[in-house]
Amino acid sequence: MEAALKAIPSNTSVLAQPSVSPHLYHVLYLELPPDYNVGGFTPKGFDSMNIPVFYRKPEYVVFDKQLPDFALLNNTQFNVYNCMGANYTVYSSNDELEIYKLTKT
């Protein structure tokens, strides 16, 4: 996982699920799924990391479907695949991690 995440440029924006985001410490703009913005909720441990909780069109989307918090990216209120649509292509994919890159704005 670490090698794939290091391949993401540091001067970019990334939307990642909470369990993956600490591994992206080198990224300039890191966002969590919008469900974290409900009621001003900040996940434990993230309040000191200064990670914005909002959604815009990031240059990369990173998630691991095997981790429990993938549900935040794939539910009735927010579906990562619907948001990406045809604007993203696979940048890297293996059994544990999927990385998509913005190709159309």
Higher local confidence (pLDDT), 101 or 80:
101
**pLDDT single digits (tens) 38-65:** 444 444 455 555 555 455 678 999 999 8
Dihedral-angle region of residue 101 (phi above 0 means left; psi in -120 to 50 means alpha; beta otherwise): beta
**pLDDT single digits (tens) 67-98:** 888 887 787 777 788 878 888 999 999 888 99
| Res 6: pLDDT | 92
DSSP letter (8 states) at residue 52: -
| Res 48: pLDDT | 53
Would you kindly state where each structural domain of the chain is located, as residue ranges? 2-102
Q: Can you tell me the distance from the alpha carbon of 20 to that of 40, in angstroms, rounded to the nearest whole number? A: 21
Q: pTM for this structure? A: 0.77
